[in-house]
Structure 1
Amino acid sequence: MEEGKLAKWLVKEGDTVSSGDIMAEIETDKATMEFEAVDEGVIGKILVAEGTDGVKVGTVIAVLAGEGEDASAVSAAPAKTEAPKAAPKAVEAAPAPAASAPAPASKAPASKEGRIAASPLAKRVAADKGIDLATVTGSGPNGRIVRADVEGAKAAPSKPAAAAPASAAAGEAKAPAVDMAPETRALLDDRVPHSVEKLSGMRKTIAKRLTQSKQEAPHIYLSVDVNLDKLLALRGEINAMLEKQGVKVSVNDMLVKALGRALIDVPECNVTFAGNELIKYARADVSVAVSIPGGLITPIVTDASGKSFSQIAKDMKDLGSRAREGKLQPTEYQGGTASISNMGMMGIKQFSAVINPPQSTIMAIGAGDKRPWVMPDGTLGVASVMTATGSFDHRAVDGADGARLMAAFREYVEAPLSMVA
C-alpha cells in the first residue's frame, strides 16, 4: 500500500479517545480498514479532511494531545498536510445511553451532517438485507452500529423506484458526472451513449501492477493436460468423511495443495527476481485469485504444502468470505510465493494468467471436461481432463525448471493419495 482514502472521521476535534477507540475509516485499494487510537488523549487537530483521496502512507492526519498537553495550542497550519478549512466534516457520535434510561428503538447515532455512525461491515450487511440504519440501535462505542446490531434487525419495506425524467430521450448520451482527464475526453465519442466513472483505488492498483508485470517480466507459458478422475474420486471420499464436521473440500482446495507440494519439489520456481539477487523461498505460500466486486484479490494459503485438504478448505472459506466483505488484513493478501487462478468454474477451458509481481510463478486452471484419453493399458477411453498453464518469469525461472514444476503438479493431481501419504 502506497496511499489510501480517508473515507470518514468518527471523531472530531476536542473529542477524548482511549487506546483502541476507532477514530477513522481508511479505504485501501483492497479493503476498508478501521484506524484505531494507539493512546489516550484529546483530538487537538484534524489535518486531513474526510473524503480526501490519495493520502500517502506516513502522512500526519491528526494530532493527539496527551495528558498535561494543551490541545488548543496545536499549530493550525502544519506543512503540506493541512486540509482546506471548509473541507473537514467531523463526525459527532451520540453519547452512549445511561444504564437507567432505555435506548430509543428507532434512532441510530448520527453526526451533525446526518451521517449514521456504523462500521463498514454493518453498512454492507444492512445494504444486502435492505435495512435502514436509522432504525437500528447501536451497541458499539458511543452508540456506533456494528454487524451484530444489523443482523438482528428487520428489513425495511422497499421503496418504489423513481420514474425517469420525461426529458431524457431514449438512447441519449448522459453528460459525464466526473471531471475527466484530457486523455479521457479525447477518447469520447459523443455519438454513442456512455457514462464516465472514476477508477477505484483497487482498479488503479490492478492496472499498475499488471502493466508492471507485463512490461518487466518476460513471460514464458507451459501447458499440460491433467487427468482428474482419481482426484475427483478421492474428493468424494474425503467429503463423505468430513460431512459431519460441515467441511467441504473443493477441487481448487486440492489443486492449491498440489501446487504447494510441487513448489517444494521444484524450489527453482518458488522464487522472486530482485534485480541483482534471487530470493529463494523454503515454504510454499500460495496466493489464490478471488474475484470480488470491482476487482480481484489474492488471499494467501500459508504453507500450502504442509496443510491438510480440510484445513485448506477452512482457510479458503474464511479468507474468501472476508475478502468479499473487504475485511482482510494486509498481511493476508500481501506476499505469497506463487499464485493459482482457477477459471474452470466459469467454463474457461484454457488461459494464460499474468504473473502476480514480485512472484515468478502463477498456475492457470481451466475447466475439467470429458475427453478422449489413452488409458494406462494403452486402450482409448474417456477421462475427466483439465488443462493447466503455468506462467513463469523467465528472468528467474528457466523453461526446463518450469516444465519440471508442471510435471510435478500433474503427478500430484493424477496420484492424489501421494499428497496425504
Structure 2
Amino acid sequence: MAEVITMPKLGFDMAEGTLIRWLKAEGEAVTKGEILAEIETDKATVEVESTHSGVVRRLLVEAGAVVPVGTPIAVIGAPDESIEDVLPGEKKGEQAEEKTPTPAVSSKTTEMTPLPVTESGVPIAEGRIKASPLARRMAREHQLDLRQIRGSGPGGRIVRRDIEAALAAQPEVVTPPAVSAKPSEVVPPTPVVSAWKPVGEVPEDQHIPVDRLRSIIARRMVEAKQQVPHFYITREYDMGALMELRKALNAELPEEQRLSVNDFVIKAVALTLRQFPALNAALVGNEIVRYGHVNIGVAVALESGLMTVVCRDADLKPLRLISQEMKDLSARARQGKVRPEDIEGSTFSISNLGMFGVEHFMAIINPPEAAILAVGAVREVPVVQNGALGIGLRMKATLSADHRVTDGAEAARFMQLLADFLEHPYRLVL
C-alpha cells in the first residue's frame, strides 16, 4: 500500500522546515533508510531518510519550500498501484500546494499568495529577504546583492535558478592589457609628506539579512538568559600530566587518529557526571528529569553560528572512539550533512574556545539542560609549587548551572571531582 511521507519533527521545538532539495526524483526506487531529501531545520541542514521502501510516486512540495511539521511531502508506493486514496484531499487543502504555471518558472511552481514587491521587483518579507540557504551561499560567493534579484520560488523566495540567471546576465568584465611605460615617461616617486592621507576608500555599510540559524540562536539565547537563573563556578586545572599522556599516546597513533585535549575533557566530564546525576539533568515542566544516558553535546563553530553535535554514552566509550566520532560529527556539521541523531538528545554541553587562545569565558546554558562547561586554553603560566616559583600548564574551566536544578556546593564538588580525572589522566584510559 502506498505510504505518505510527511515533514518530520527533528527537534522538540521544531515547527517547520525548509526542503532544500530532493535526492530522489519521481519514478525512482527508494529503500527504507536511504536518504530521500535534505531539510533545513532550526539548527542545521539534515539528511532525512525514507521510512518506507518502494518507488517515489509523487513529490508534493517543491525544493525551497517552507513546510510545517506533519505536512505531506511525498508518496511512496508500488509502481503500478493507485495513489489517489492517499493523496492530500480537501481536508488538507490549505496545506497542499497547487501547481500552476508562471512566466518566470517551469509549470510546476507552487501557487502561493504573492508577497508585495518594491518597484525593482524585490520581495518584501517582513524586513528580510526570502532566499534558500544555497542561494544565499551562492550570492555570497559571487558577491551578488540579493535585494536586486527577483525570486521565482514559492512566495517570491530566491532559489538557485535565480542566482544562476543573475550570473548569466552579468556583463563580462574585460581587463585591458597593461601598457609598459617608456623610459622617458617614468614618473618619479612621490616625495614623502608629513600630512596623513587615507589609504583607499571607506567601504560602504553592509546590511546583511539574519539567516535562519542565527535567528534561532538569538531567540533561544535570549530565552535562556531571561528564563534560566544562571550561576557560575570557575576552577583552574593542572594539565601537565594530561599533556604528557596525550603526547605519549599520539606518538603511537597515525596523524588522522590523534587525540585532542577536548577528547580528554569529554571523557572526564562524562565520568564525573556519572557521580553527579543532578547535573546530567533537565527541568521539564514541574519535574526534574535525571537522564540515565550521558550524552555530551559539543559546540561546533560554523560560518553562520554554533551547532551542538552529540557524543552519545561518552562515559562508556574509549578515548579513541570519542575522538573519531567527534571528528566525523564536526565534519558533517561543517558540510551541512548532519543527521537528526547527530544533533538531538544531549544531556550536558561543553563549549571549548581553547583552540582560539581564549583563557576564560562563561557559556549560556542550552535549555532544557541543567548545565554547560566553558573550557579555555591550556597555557604556560608561572606557578608556585612547594614554595618555589616555576612554570606550569594550566587550564581554566567555568561551569554555568541552572539554580533551579542544582546549587553552588554541588556544582563545586562536580568541578573538584573533574580535577581528579583531568589531573590524573590515566584514569581516563583504564
Alignment TM-score, normalising by the size of structure 1: 0.69
Aligned to 2:41: 28
Which one of the candidate residues 68, 80, 88 is aligned to 1:56? Answer: 68
Residues 253 and 283 from structure 1, CA distance in 2 versus in 1: closer, same or farther, beyond 3 angstroms? same
Aligned to 2:352: 342
Point out the more displaced range, 363-372 or 33-42.
33-42
- Distance across 2 between alignment mates of 1:403 and 1:226: 13
Which one of the candidate residues 293, 297, 321 is aligned to 2:303? Answer: 293
Q: Give the counterpart letter for 1:206 in structure 2.
A: I
- In the alignment, structure 1 segments of 5+ residues that lack a partner are 93-119, 129-159, 165-169, 174-192
- Distance across 2 between alignment mates of 1:313 and 1:331: 18
Residues 249 and 79 from structure 1, CA distance in 2 versus in 1: closer, same or farther, beyond 3 angstroms? same
Which one of the candidate residues 304, 323, 340 is aligned to 2:333? Answer: 323
Q: Give the counterpart letter for 1:282 in structure 2.
A: G
Q: Give the counterpart letter for 1:409 in structure 2.
A: L
Aligned to 2:197: none
Aligned to 2:94: 80
Alignment identity in percent? 35
Q: Give the counterpart letter for 2:235 in structure 1.
A: V
> Where do 1:20-169 residues align within 5 Å?
20=31, 24-29=37-42, 30-34=44-48, 36=50, 38-41=52-55, 43-44=57-58, 46=60, 48-53=61-66, 55-63=67-75, 67-69=80-82, 78-86=92-100, 162=173
1:232 counterpart = 2:246: no
Q: Give the counterpart letter for 2:63 in structure 1.
A: E
- Distance across 2 between alignment mates of 1:332 and 1:76: 35
Alignment TM-score, normalising by the size of structure 2: 0.68
CA RMSD of aligned residues (A): 3.4
Could you list the per-position Cα deviations for residues 160-206 of structure 1 after superposition, in whole angstroms to 9, with x for gaps in the alignment? 98589xxxxx6685xxxxxxxxxxxxxxxxxxx22232x33222222
Q: Give the counterpart letter for 1:350 in structure 2.
A: H
Q: Give the counterpart letter for 2:302 in structure 1.
A: I
Aligned to 2:412: 403
- Distance across 1 between alignment mates of 2:87 and 2:292: 50
Contact preservation (8 Å) 1:17, 1:37: no
Aligned to 1:95: none
1:389 counterpart = 2:401: no
- Distance across 1 between alignment mates of 2:75 and 2:316: 46
Aligned to 1:241: 252
- Following superposition, the deviation at residue 40 of structure 1 comes to 2.9
Q: Secondary structure at the match of 2:350?
A: strand
Q: Secondary structure at the match of 2:99?
A: coil
- Following superposition, the deviation at residue 336 of structure 1 comes to 1.3
Point out the more displaced range, 291-300 or 346-355.
291-300
- Following superposition, the deviation at residue 265 of structure 1 comes to 2.1
- Distance across 1 between alignment mates of 2:69 and 2:89: 22
Residues 69 and 261 from structure 1, CA distance in 2 versus in 1: closer, same or farther, beyond 3 angstroms? same
Which one of the candidate residues 414, 424, 429 is aligned to 1:420? Answer: 429
Contact preservation (8 Å) 1:65, 1:71: no
Which one of the candidate residues 238, 249, 272 is aligned to 1:262? Answer: 272
Contact preservation (8 Å) 1:287, 1:338: yes
Contact preservation (8 Å) 1:42, 1:71: no
Q: Give the counterpart letter for 1:6 in structure 2.
A: L
- Following superposition, the deviation at residue 228 of structure 1 comes to 0.9
- Distance across 1 between alignment mates of 2:333 and 2:300: 8
- Following superposition, the deviation at residue 42 of structure 1 comes to 6.1
- Distance across 2 between alignment mates of 1:282 and 1:83: 43
- Distance across 1 between alignment mates of 2:375 and 2:236: 10
Q: Give the counterpart letter for 1:38 in structure 2.
A: H
- Distance across 2 between alignment mates of 1:342 and 1:397: 23
- Following superposition, the deviation at residue 256 of structure 1 comes to 0.9
- Distance across 2 between alignment mates of 1:370 and 1:281: 37
Aligned to 2:206: 194
Residues 304 and 268 from structure 1, CA distance in 2 versus in 1: closer, same or farther, beyond 3 angstroms? same
Contact preservation (8 Å) 2:229, 2:403: yes
Count how many residue pairs are aligned between Structure 1 and Structure 2. 329
Aligned to 1:380: 389
Q: Give the counterpart letter for 1:251 in structure 2.
A: V
Which one of the candidate residues 343, 351, 360 is aligned to 2:361? Answer: 351
1:16 counterpart = 2:23: no
Q: Secondary structure at the match of 2:315?
A: coil
Contact preservation (8 Å) 2:38, 2:45: no
Point out the more displaced range, 200-209 or 400-409.
200-209
- Distance across 2 between alignment mates of 1:328 and 1:75: 30
Residues 319 and 17 from structure 1, CA distance in 2 versus in 1: closer, same or farther, beyond 3 angstroms? same
- Following superposition, the deviation at residue 395 of structure 1 comes to 0.6
- Distance across 1 between alignment mates of 2:83 and 2:419: 67
